[in-house]
Structure 1
Amino acid sequence: MPKNNRRNKGPAPALGNLEFLRWMWAQLTSMRTALLLLLLLAVASLPGSFVPQRGVDARAVEAFRIRNPDLSPWLDRLGAFNVYSSPWFSAIYLLLMASLIGCIVPRTRIYLRALRARPPKAPRRFERMPASGSFETTADVDTVLAAARRVVGRARVDVVSEDGDGGPRGELRAERGYLRELGNLVFHISVVVVLVGVAVGSLIGYRGAVIVTEGNRFSNVLTQYDEFTSGTWFDPDSLPPFSLELDDLIAEFDTGDGPQRGAPRLFEANGTYRDGLDGDDEDFSIRVNHPLSIGSTDLFLVGQGYSPVIKVTDPEGNVVFDEAVPFLPEDATYTSGGVVKVPDIGTEQLGMQGFFLPTAARTAEDAASISIFPAAANPYIALQAWTGDLGLDEGTPQSVYVLDTSKMTQVLDENGDPFRIELQPGQSSTLPDGTVVEFTELEQFARFQISSSPLAGVPLGGVAVGLGGLVLSLFIRPRRTWVRATSDGSRTVVEVAALDRVPRDDLPDDLTAFIDRLRDEIEPQEKP
């Protein structure tokens, strides 16, 4: 029996540590992985659009947690309230940057070698090419090659002439479309520039939110922010010195009877600002999507609401509180919640919590009041009161919009029910201990988002340049064209072939048009 000389092949040997790392790097830096990571980054960004973010609106996060007490702890563990600074989002971000850089560097080397290389030699048999054709002419070889040189235009060209056994022969080799790969490289480099610009900008920038009531002033210092987040490399002492005073806020809503009734039509904040400690006061007008820019800092108008002016007089007749208190809107009709904290009233402190209705109405005689329109047509405020320790003396920071009643006692009426304060502008209510609470007037507030992105122009420029590169990569056709001319002394056989490096269906038609132009260039036809 014949001996079987084939060796039995066992399983492939296991990769060593170095080989495994090389394999991992090759997988990471493949274009397929880069595209997958780019898609994954887009998908990972979606929760940030549906779930409120602490860095954007901490108040909305707290409201979401109150509405969803069971779901919120799980979302918090997953980092859904801080999507863009979460470890998993950062990991995808960094992997994408590494993948793109790993793709760009070797492709750049290959592209530079291709720029220095000459067009390849013509294949021996043109009929095997995707598109080819031939014709005969009485012109000599040099005339044919010179005409072909003019027809191919700006393509990189090599012309080779020689004497063959049957007579003179020559070959033109042309290649064009080098800008296509340049466009690809520019696009991918631009993506890296955008990623780096966004990352560095977030590390050195800051973002905050503040509520300013009409007639009040805001100075750009850390203690005056309601919410403030900054990058790791940001120095709070480097906040630019500026201030602004809000004179009035214009809010207009749709008053029609259709489905758009109550929809906002205009929000405009007007006042003056001062750039620097000794700058001159200048007027400003901020509307939605029309921010005020002061240096590298932008001030956006992102919200509006009402600040009832609450006056509290103690039993001895001393005014212990007289301030405008912002109530934060909770729905489209501006039903708003708020807290009033009065720290200096005798031996105890007074806290009040309730809601404000800009246009109060009742759907039935015994029903609770609701707001039916966001404008302040019939202002109404309802509060409940507590006395005791507000926790303000402990030195622990606390939200001005949250009332901690754990060390307080609720004020009750003579029937033992919670004492209810219901007021409209100009009205007052007296607590059982003689304290008077008065709703003196109504003011509006503007909610500003203040952000600084020193490198905001870098991502914008990267996007603009990247779009240019994308256009080059989509519309430029990399094509190789060969023209071979062989003469036997009386006639010259001209063979033409073309190859698209990116397959297209119109190559045969383009080659036919090329041959027609070449024949016209060699033997101009007389026009009638």
Structure 2
Amino acid sequence: MRNALILLLLLGLASIPGSLFPQRTQSPLKVREYFENDPNTAKWMDRFYLFDVYGSPWFSAIYILLFISLIGCVVPRTWHYAKEALSKPATPPSSLKQFEFHQESNGTLDKAEEWLKKNKFRVTRAQEGIAAEKGYLRETGNLIFHLALIVILLGVGASSVFGMRGEAIVTVGERFINVPTSYDNLAPGRFFDVADMPPFVVTAANFEAKYDPETRQPLDYKLTALVSESTKELPVRKIVRVNQPLTFGDSRVYLQANGFSPLVTVRDKDGNVKFEGPVPFLPQDANLSSIGAIKVPDMNPQIGFVASFFPTAARDEVRGGFSSYPDLLDPRLLVSVWQGDLKMDSGVPQSVYRIDTSEMERIGLWGLSIGESYTFGSPEVGTITLNGAVPWVNLQVVKDPGKPWALAG
């Protein structure tokens, strides 16, 4: 058991790098940034599996050794205990003088047997005398605890190897189809087969968020979703809340976060629409002050907008622009307009929420309220119009086959 405790401590220590460094299965873009910013250090970090901690040989070795140590300790003890507990107490010896503590009594065996049974002893009576035992229940609790720990480890291991977790941002009015390409982040287990993903479609029909007017804390999140098992079936209306997920077989769909997608229209100098639609922005605080990027590769030269969105716009000398409330009371979009190569054809994956402006030229800076337009460039290059804003929700899909085992443990 001492070895198991040491291995449990080592497992906790081995988990620390997984929280300090981005993991390839969860944040591949951040891992790529490490290689771009400091390729030599990142190369050595990758050799030690610091970007894939939970799938590394050394982490797996500790986990497996802990599992083997527990089994090697608990299973023999359980077997020995079961044999002892199920067998009758040993036949009493002919003489008690071999025992360190003994006492003679003038009472009868019948009275002794009655007293022992009354006090919950297991009693065996032979011609030579009576043998009695008790105290097994204490060891029972100890063994059940350690057996439950083994079951929990089995459940966690099964979920890690055969399960998956994925996240996707879905703007209200859009739909999510459960295929790998629909996810923003997908972390499958080592032996998870994407062919086993249950087919389903979730359309975000409406989203309502209620907040306390004084504390600005969320009171309720309610997603009205149209759900179907395939694109050919008629959808069924269902309500999703934070603790009320959708269930598809052994997969669950959780409502995890929310934000806003500004509705924008970008036109060139001739008035031709080059981009139109919602653009999800990432919240930066509890009041949903958000940042994002609008990329228009169809314009010549290409145009990118580095932007901030504030649902309830406010401003002070210290923070500059910010949102003072997490709902659409006075929405405003601040845009910085950049002209040049967006590098979308370079073949290198890039974040949809950021723009590399190192080789671009800024040609405009402005703030827009709903219904307003801004003409950028000198001479004129084009215009951007803020048409409104719609909420988006972050859906987390979890397949956790080991959860029943972990809960049973």
State the AA in 2 paired with 1:243.
V
Alpha-carbon distance change, 143 to 446 in structure 1, aligned in 2, over 3 angstroms: closer
Shift of 1:146: 5.0
Alpha-carbon distance change, 377 to 82 in structure 1, aligned in 2, over 3 angstroms: farther
- Which position in structure 1 is the counterpart of 2:220? 266
User: Of 227, 233, 244, which aligns to 2:202?
Assistant: 244
SS at 1:196 equivalent? helix
- Which position in structure 1 is the counterpart of 2:368? 423
State the AA in 1 paired with 2:282.
L
- Which position in structure 2 is the counterpart of 1:350? 303
State the AA in 2 paired with 1:420.
L
- Which position in structure 2 is the counterpart of 1:111? 81
- Which position in structure 2 is the counterpart of 1:124? 96
Tell me if structure 2 keeps the 8 A contact 1:149–1:172.
Answer: no
- Which position in structure 1 is the counterpart of 2:261? 307
User: Of 239, 248, 252, which aligns to 1:298?
Assistant: 252
SS at 1:393 equivalent? coil
2: distance between equivalents of 1:207 and 1:223?
A: 14
Percent identity of the aligned residues? 35
SS at 2:63 equivalent? helix
Per-residue Cα deviation, 1:107-132 (whole angstroms, up to 9, x for no partner): 23422442446336467259953xx7
Instruction: Note if 1:387 corresponds to 2:339.
Output: yes
Per-residue Cα deviation, 1:412-467 (whole angstroms, up to 9, x for no partner): 3xxxxxx2031111111011233110111111111111111123211111x2xxxx
Shift of 1:207: 0.9
Shift of 1:79: 6.5
Tell me if structure 1 keeps the 8 A contact 2:70–2:150.
Answer: yes
State the AA in 2 paired with 1:391.
K
State the AA in 2 paired with 1:410.
E
SS at 1:411 equivalent? strand
Shift of 1:85: 3.8
After TM superposition, the score normalised by the length of structure 2 is 0.85
SS at 2:206 equivalent? strand
Alpha-carbon distance change, 318 to 57 in structure 1, aligned in 2, over 3 angstroms: same
- Which position in structure 1 is the counterpart of 2:72? 102
Instruction: Note if 1:363 corresponds to 2:316.
Output: yes
State the AA in 2 paired with 1:264.
P
SS at 2:213 equivalent? coil
- Which position in structure 2 is the counterpart of 1:34? 4
Per-residue Cα deviation, 1:236-291 (whole angstroms, up to 9, x for no partner): 233211111111111222211xxxx2222222211211123443311222222222
1: distance between equivalents of 2:362 and 2:81?
A: 79
2: distance between equivalents of 1:367 and 1:116?
A: 76
State the AA in 2 paired with 1:242.
F
Tell me if structure 2 keeps the 8 A contact 1:52–1:60.
Answer: no
Instruction: Note if 1:451 corresponds to 2:398.
Output: yes
Tell me if structure 2 keeps the 8 A contact 1:240–1:276.
Answer: no
1: distance between equivalents of 2:29 and 2:291?
A: 13
Tell me if structure 1 keeps the 8 A contact 2:113–2:123.
Answer: no
Task: From the CA coordinates, give the structure whose radius of gyration is larger.
Answer: 1
Alpha-carbon distance change, 380 to 237 in structure 1, aligned in 2, over 3 angstroms: same
Shift of 1:203: 1.2
State the AA in 2 paired with 1:241.
P
- Which position in structure 1 is the counterpart of 2:123? 157
Alpha-carbon distance change, 196 to 457 in structure 1, aligned in 2, over 3 angstroms: same
State the AA in 2 paired with 1:363.
D
State the AA in 1 paired with 2:126.
V
After TM superposition, the score normalised by the length of structure 1 is 0.67
Tell me if structure 2 keeps the 8 A contact 1:274–1:280.
Answer: yes
Q: Which has the higher contact order (CA 8 A, sep 6+)?
A: 1
SS at 2:297 equivalent? strand
1: distance between equivalents of 2:44 and 2:167?
A: 23
Q: Name the count of aligned residue pairs.
A: 399
- Which position in structure 1 is the counterpart of 2:131? 173
* RMSD across aligned positions (CA): 3.3
How does 1:314-333 map onto structure 2 within 5 Å? 314-333=268-287
Q: Which runs of 5+ in 1 are unaligned?
A: 1-30, 162-169, 413-418, 464-528
1: distance between equivalents of 2:20 and 2:212?
A: 28
Moved over 4 A (4+): 42-48, 50-57, 59-62, 72-83, 125-128, 132-135
State the AA in 2 paired with 1:296.
D
- Which position in structure 2 is the counterpart of 1:411? 362
Alpha-carbon distance change, 79 to 358 in structure 1, aligned in 2, over 3 angstroms: farther
Q: Which runs of 5+ in 2 are unaligned?
A: none
2: distance between equivalents of 1:380 and 1:147?
A: 86
Shift of 1:210: 0.6
